[in-house]
């Protein structure tokens, strides 16, 4: 019989890990403003030091899926909490550009643990997959949304070093609680048997894998192009002279709308065919981004909102497809590949925005993003055509 309290505790800690993962990675981009003032260093040079963290965040998600087979998922997630906490404390001691770069690299490596390991643990312990994935996505996005505001508040009141120390101590405390309250995998009753109850068979799995990889890579680009470009696009194309605070608030509202859409998509995952949901969501990306490219003012905001809803919703669908179609013993590895592809592709978004904006402004930027969205829609159609599956009934 399944140990429901243990599974619920595991899911709670996985959700907390998702929030902390995105939070700690986004401390530095806000804290760097105070660092530049205190140390009289150039902002451009300092912000560039965070490249090591974000590159490591994508690259190291791949090997951690394999490492989990040797040390265990639960043990790796404990290392995530403790490692991120230690890295945040390390960044707080930095006094030179080299020290910042090295500690941020360490933070990026430990942060990379979460997505392949946390996603696999979530799937193994979830009784309602879609609902669990939807709420997990909201936790992660709320962590990202809170990072800049909380960091700015702490840095203004107590200094930028405390802005790293406080979340670092939180990570360490949560890590200790996780070790005490979540049993090791060999004692946990939420096992591969539960996940295999939802496993599905596919026609031509090699083709499905290739098409799904295209969708993940294109999705990484549309995600970062939209999230990075939205604030500046609103500033340039809203058609009204508004203060920066309002621009930020509008962008945040769009992102929160997209994040909350994950709850709806999670419910749909529990009720409808994944390929059908995939097609329905993917058609919104080129439509929304195309509208944002062609319009200004309120219609542009509507286009961005539609695109963000589809982009955030697709994150839930992507994870659900790995959970449904990958064998349980391979899920950590497949999640590692999935996030490696998505994060690596997303890394090209910033230079792409810079190049396209120089050519034709955000109309060109969003037109290109719409083309990537169309590629996702094409991939979704192929997945739908191959995704007529037979799902084994749960025992």
Q: Which DSSP letter does residue 41 get?
A: -
Task: Please report which confidence band the pLDDT of residue 244 belongs to, taking 50, 70 and 90 as the band edges.
Answer: low
Q: What is the pLDDT of residue 352?
A: 87
Q: Is it the case that residue 277 has pLDDT exceeding 60?
A: yes
Query: Looking at residue 3, what is its pLDDT?
Result: 61
Task: Check residues 266 and 325 and name the one with the higher pLDDT.
Answer: 266
Task: Tell me which DSSP letter residue 330 carries.
Answer: G
Confidence of residue 193 (pLDDT cuts 50, 70, 90): very low
- Per the CB < 8 A criterion, the answer to whether 10 and 188 are in contact is yes
pLDDT at 273: 86
pLDDT digits (tens, 9 = 90+) for 67-110: 988 888 999 999 999 999 999 999 999 999 899 999 999 999 99
Range with lowest mean pLDDT among 60-74, 117-131, 209-223, 325-339? 325-339
> How sure is the predictor about 1, in pLDDT bands with cuts at 50, 70 and 90?
very low
Q: What is the pLDDT of residue 115?
A: 92
Q: Is the pLDDT of residue 339 over 80?
A: yes
Closest CA to 199 of 386, 328, 333, 319: 328
* CB-based contacts of 181, cutoff 8 Å, min separation 6: 9, 13
Q: What does the pLDDT read at residue 257? A: 86
Report H helices in the chain. 4-25, 27-39, 43-48, 51-59, 61-71, 73-92, 97-111, 114-125, 129-158, 160-181, 192-197, 205-237, 244-269, 274-282, 284-294, 297-325, 331-346, 349-386
Domain boundaries, the chain: 4-190, 196-386
193 vs 106 pLDDT, higher one: 106
Which range has highest mean pLDDT (186-195, 265-274, 383-392)? Answer: 265-274
Residue 202 pLDDT > 70, yes or no? no
Is pTM beyond 0.85? Reply is no
The residues pairing with 391 across neighbouring beta strands, listed in sequence order, are: 200
pLDDT band at 249 (very low <50, low <70, confident <90, very high): confident
CATH topology of domain 4-190: Growth Hormone; Chain: A; (1.20.1250)
- Report the pLDDT averaged over residues 338-343: 87
Superfamily of domain 196-386: MFS general substrate transporter like domains (1.20.1250.20)
> Dihedral sign, CA of 360, 219, 338, 227?
positive
Contact predicate 254/313, CB 8 Å: no
Which three-class secondary structure string do you get for 78-114? HHHHHHHHHHHHHHHCCCCHHHHHHHHHHHHHHHCCH
Phi, psi of 348 (to 5 degrees): -85, -5
* Tokens (6 digits) for 364: 């060109």
- N- to C-terminal Cα distance for the chain? 12
Q: How far apart are CA 112 and CA 216, in angstroms?
A: 17
Beta-carbon count within 10 A of 177 CB: 14
355-383 residue pLDDT tens: 888 899 889 999 999 999 999 999 999 88
Q: Report the DSSP beta bridge partners of residue 200.
A: 391
User: How confident is the model at residue 392, as a pLDDT?
Assistant: 42
Sign (positive or negative) of CA dihedral 122, 123, 124, 127: positive
Q: Report the percentage of the chain scoring pLDDT > 70.
A: 90
Q: Which of 311, 331, 313 is nearest to 323 (CA)?
A: 331
For the beta carbon of residue 193, count every other beta carbon within 10 angstroms.
Answer: 13
Residue-level length of the chain: 395
| Residue 250: band (very low, low, confident or very high) from pLDDT cuts 50, 70, 90 | confident
pLDDT in tens, 341-356: 888 888 788 788 888 8
- Residue pair 25/107 in contact (Cβ under 8 Å)? The answer is yes
Cα 258 to the chain's mean position, in Å? 13
């Amino acid at each position: 019989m399944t140990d429901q309290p243990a599974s619920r505790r595991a899911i709670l800690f996985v959700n907390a890990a998702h929030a902390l993962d995105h939070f700690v990675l986004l401390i530095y981009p806000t804290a760097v403003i105070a660092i530049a003032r205190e140390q009289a260093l150039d902002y451009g040079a300092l912000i560039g030091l965070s490249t090591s963290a974000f590159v490591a965040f994508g690259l190291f998600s791949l090997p951690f899926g394999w490492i989990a087979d040797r040390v265990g998922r639960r043990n790796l997630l404990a290392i995530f909490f403790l490692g991120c906490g230690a890295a945040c404390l390390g960044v707080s001691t930095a006094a030179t550009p080299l020290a910042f770069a090295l500690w941020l690299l360490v933070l990026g490596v430990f942060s990379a643990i979460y997505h392949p390991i946390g996603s696999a643990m979530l799937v193994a312990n979830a009784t309602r997959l879609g609902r669990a994935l939807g709420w997990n996505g909201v936790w992660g996005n709320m962590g990202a949304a809170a990072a800049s505001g909380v960091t700015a508040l702490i840095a203004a009141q107590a200094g930028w070093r405390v802005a790293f120390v406080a979340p670092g101590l939180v990570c360490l405390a949560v890590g200790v609680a996780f070790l005490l309250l979540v049993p090791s995998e060999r004692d946990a009753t939420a096992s591969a048997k539960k996940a295999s109850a939802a496993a599905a068979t596919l026609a031509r799995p090699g083709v499905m894998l290739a098409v799904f990889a295209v969708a993940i890579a294109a999705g990484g680009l549309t995600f970062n192009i939209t999230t990075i470009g939205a604030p500046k696009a609103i500033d340039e194309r809203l058609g009204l002279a508004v203060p920066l605070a309002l621009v930020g608030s509008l962008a945040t509202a769009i992102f929160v709308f997209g994040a909350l859409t994950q709850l709806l998509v999670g419910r749909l995952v529990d009720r409808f065919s994944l390929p059908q949901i995939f097609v329905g969501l993917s058609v919104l990306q080129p439509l929304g981004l195309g509208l944002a490219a062609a319009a200004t003012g309120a219609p542009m905001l509507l286009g961005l909102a539609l695109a963000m809803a589809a982009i955030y919703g697709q994150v839930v669908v992507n994870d659900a497809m790995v959970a449904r179609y990958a064998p349980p013993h391979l899920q950590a590895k497949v999640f590692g590949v999935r996030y490696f592809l998505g994060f690596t592709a997303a890394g090209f978004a910033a230079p792409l925005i810079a190049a396209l904006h120089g050519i034709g402004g955000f109309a060109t930027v969003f037109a290109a993003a719409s083309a990537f969205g169309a590629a996702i829609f094409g991939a979704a159609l192929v997945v739908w055509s191959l995704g007529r599956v037979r799902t084994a009934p749960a025992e």
